[in-house]
Amino acid sequence: MSQQGQPLRAVAARVLQSVENGQSLSQCLPHAMGDVADNERPPLQALCYGTCRWFHRLDGELQARLKKPLRKSDRVVHHLMLVALFQLRFSQQATYAILNETVEACRALDKPHLTGLVNGVLRAAEREGEPPIADEIGRFSHPPWMLEKLRHNWPHDWQAILEANNTQAPMTLRVNALRFSRDDYLQLLSDAGIDANATLFAPHGIQLAAPVPVDLLPWFSEGAVSVQDEAAQLCTTLMDLAPGQRVLDACAAPGGKTCAILESCGQLEEVVAIDESADRLPRVQENLERLDLVATLKQADAADIDQWWDRKPFDRILLDVPCSATGVIRRHPDIKLLRRESDIVPLASIQLGLLESMWQVLAPGGRLVYATCSVFPQENHRIIRRFLKQQDDAALVEPDVLWGRDMETGRQMLPVPESHDGFFYAVLEKPEP
């Protein structure tokens, strides 16, 4: 029982109901943390993330055990039973505790009339064990549309992508090159008893053998390192940064790539970071301050250049566009519940529109790096192909790299267990007149 008097599982059930209603875990989970004691916050996060990760498998089992669906007004109890099933199938917690505490949570949710149903369903689930997995939805625990789209787009890799999505992502760091070399920071980690190795592709990346709280990382609060996946770090290796350049990071929040740009080249003329969300820009500023970096922050729709552009062109642009985020599902398993197939076409339209707008503010001789954390071709190399057909002065640059797959108009990385996320990059240049 939390110090606020709300059972952990009841809070988790409410969080899952919020996700089903369209809120991301990053939106609703921080608020829910205030409803539980400090020592219950990590278990709450584990329950919510784990249940989202295996939602489709667990939901299939639960629906088969229910004689009829619960009323909409009782839907939170459906989520409560999913949380309990997740613990029964994927945790080492004592079964009696799961059953008893879930029944108590049902009462705390003001649903005492459903305690008998909850008790009966969960006792049967314990007694009978997990049923045989009858289909691919249960095996891979992804929504049907996503499974089929991956199968179509990646006929030789779809199963590996789905399995990678169900793993827990490693904790990866980006060493602040203005403060430490990677080798020096690896030694600091070793001295602190933290097992870690250099990443394969990102020059300043370090992957930890096991996650640790950031306050245990040497010099973290002083800006020595940041937490960032290896694939996301690669943007700076493609930008060809040099002193004196004016750089734009469009769609910048939460600011990890903005900071990586500044760390990669300490004598840039200016870095401008734009984001449409007023709620997210303070996070960018917090990251800059911790790392002792300076950027010009602007709240604006990057595509609406008349709203924010001062008519001074940029030498380098990073365009990390809004996307389906299907390359980072292992870090954000709620994407399985939030994303819809109908989202992809509108997203592709936004992505192409942003690319067209950013091209107008790129200086002749300048370079633009297009990035997504998606694995769908519709958002990636097909966008670049469409843009190149309509933009005569856009030249594709083929980076000399060892990572990713050559998609002819960009490089695609697929998520890899114990390694990087799924990402896409394309590099375009505007010729001198």
In the block, residue with structure tokens 């200016």: 270
259 in catalytic set: no
What the block records as the tokens of 387 is 């843009």
* Angle, helix 75-90 to helix 41-53, in steps of 10 degrees: 90
Could you tell me which of 25, 20, 56 has the C-alpha nearest to residue 145? 56
Report whether 371 belongs to an annotated binding site: no
Cβ-contact 321, 251 below 8 angstroms: yes
Catalytic option among 28, 52, 106, 373 = 373
For 333, how many CA atoms within 13 A lie in the half-sphere containing its CB? 25
- 251 in a known ligand binding site: yes
Q: How far apart are CA 263 and CA 302, in angstroms?
A: 23
Distance of CA 134 to the CA centre of its chain: 29
Contact of 325 with 339, CB cutoff 8 Å:
yes
Residue 306 annotated as binding? no
Q: How far apart are CA 344 and CA 163, in angstroms?
A: 22
Query: Identity (one letter) of the amino acid at 117?
Result: L
Residue 116 and residue 93 in contact, taking contact as beta carbons nearer than 8 Å: no
**Cβ–Cβ < 8 Å for 45, 26:** no
Measured distance CA(230)–CA(420) in Å, rounded: 5
The answer to the question of whether 255 is labelled as a binding residue is yes
- 253 has binding-site annotation: yes
Q: Which amino acid is at 328?
A: V
Strand, helix or coil at 364? strand
Instruction: Give 241's contacts (C-beta < 8 A, 6+ positions apart).
Output: 247, 261, 264, 265, 268, 316
Can you give the three-state secondary structure of 45-105, one letter per residue? Answer: HHHHHHHHHCHHHHHHHHHHHCCCCCCHHHHHHHHHHHHHHHHHHHCCCCHHHHHHHHHHH
Q: Find out whether 422 is annotated in a ligand binding site.
A: no
The reply to whether 259 sits in an annotated binding site is no
CA nearest neighbour of 314 among 369, 353, 259, 263 = 369
208-210-212 Cα angle (round to 5):
90
211 annotated to bind ligand: no
Greatest Cα pair distance, the chain, in angstroms, is 76
254 is in an annotated binding site: yes
| Proportion of the chain in helix, strand, coil states, percent, rounded to 5 | 45, 15, 40
Residues annotated catalytic, as ranges: 373
Binding residues for S-adenosyl-L-methionine: 251-257, 275, 301, 320
Binding residues: 251-257, 275, 301, 320
